[in-house]
Chain A
Amino acid sequence: MTEDTVQMAKVAELPQWEEFVNMVENEVSQKSTDGPIGYAVYHKYSKTC
């Protein structure tokens, strides 16, 4: 561990790629938010210009 990293007190972890893939490839419909995202929300996080 470098000096730029610290042990987080919280148990929360970042998801791993395998977990993401498992969710994306799961037969069942994803649990992602199913409601109007709205352009204003998309717009907030977009990396396009």
Chain B
Amino acid sequence: MPDKQFILRNIDEVHFEVTAQCNLKCKYCYAEPYEAGSKDNFMRIDTVKKTIDLLSEYSQKQHIEIIFHGGEPLLQNPTWFDECCNYVTEKFTLKNKNYSFGLQTNNILLNTEFIEVFLKHNINVGVSLDGTEKIHNQFRGGFNKTIKNIKLLENSKLFSGVISVISHHNFDKISEIFQEFYNQGFSHFSINIASAVGNGQFSEPLSAEQIFNIYEQDYINLLKYDGKIVEFRLIERIRRHFEAPDKENILTQLRCDNPFCHAGSNMIFIKVNEDLFPCGSAGSSGKIENFKLGNLSEPLSKQDYYTVLKRFHQKTDKYIMECQNCKAKYFCEHGCPAFDFTDPITTENKCIANKQFVNFLNKEPKENINKLLSYKL
């Protein structure tokens, strides 16, 4: 089997760095600060076409997920998305492949022209929102526009939900976040505890105690709101703790929150300059040259690709010696290969908090756990 075919045979998700540029400067952003004045700031349509041609030819997967990421993807022109999606539709239809589109944005620049294109191609949009106006504007900015444009997405049925990054501005405000999102009429959201990487690499990692409090407050609010608003991530982790999946189950559900993720094996990230990385995190922060898998304009080498990928997913002695016997081993996400390289402290603090929280969970009444696991996700 040719190297290209072998490497791409299992890819069912591709993330495009539409641009490395962003209209915000979030203090915790996982991406390195964008260098003003850099050339080739925006992805060329040819880069998308080249990627789609490769996947169309070599991926054995029936369904391919295409995700537009950044930087801030809405800095690109709506017609760019239209042309890209037209090409995807044409190529994948010819190959009888299914496909779907997603886009992650701060939502400030959304307008009716984007909506028109997104509706045409059914591009589902996820929005970053950190809580109340005061919380959100402390580290991000543009709360009012973000909220106003979420309504546009909701009215068009294109709204996928909210990712809420938890850092020093909101780790102790989980109740306010639930209240705000409930008031906004959201049915669900997902929290993401920031690592000290990228733009946030010089900030203090959250402590184990702070992380435990996030889990505890998340849990308390999940019960309080009785399924009317659901934070996905904690529920899934609690489910895994109590259901204890077997190895095969873990290896066939490769995702960001699993002991082994899908980066590089099922998904690839394409940068503006056509470099190929296991995921957006690996291609946007830390010493990214360590995790470069190749470039679209050069021949892909199976040996080079898997040498880097194996190193990327390499586990520590701790995983081998301690995690197997840890009571939190299913609740734990076991770090992030991309972030841990730059910030090993957050993962260690999560490790301590995970064990504490599992102790807490194990003492909780069964009816509470069952109630929480019955929420519709």
Instruction: Please list the residues of chain A having a beta carbon within 8 angstroms of any beta carbon in chain B.
Output: 1-2, 4-8, 10, 12-17, 19-21, 23-25, 27, 29-40, 42-49
Contact = CB atoms under 8 A, between A and B. Distances in A.
Given A15-B247, A25-B306, A46 B163 contact: yes
Contacts of B190: 43-46
Contact of B313 (A21, A29, A48): A21
B163 A49 contact: yes
B192 A34 contact: no
Given A14-B324, A45-B233, A39 B60 contact: no
Interface size class of B (residues with CB under 8 A): 35 or more
Given A8-B327, A10-B244, 12 more contacts: A1-B325, A8-B329, A12-B244, A24-B313, A30-B266, A32-B252, A36-B63, A37-B63, A39-B100, A43-B102, A47-B281, A49-B26
Interface stretch (B5-13, B49-57, B108-116, B286-294): B5-13
27 contacts: A4-B327, A6-B326, A6-B327, A8-B327, A15-B259, A19-B247, A24-B10, A24-B265, A27-B1, A30-B266, A32-B252, A32-B253, A33-B253, A34-B12, A36-B63, A38-B124, A39-B125, A39-B126, A40-B124, A42-B13, A42-B65, A43-B163, A44-B190, A44-B232, A48-B281, A49-B30, A49-B128
A37 B195 CA distance: 26
A28 to B, nearest CB: 9
Interface in B310-325: 310, 313-315, 319-320, 322-325
A15 to B, nearest CB: 5
Contacts of A44: 161, 190, 232-233, 236, 377
B349 to A, nearest CB: 14
Contacts of A42: 13, 65, 67, 102
A48 to B, nearest CB: 5
Leading 10 A-B pairs by shortest Cβ distance: A39-B102, A39-B124, A45-B256, A43-B126, A49-B165, A5-B325, A44-B232, A15-B247, A24-B265, A45-B257
B65 A39 contact: yes
A35 B63 contact: yes
Contacts of A8: 244, 325, 327, 329
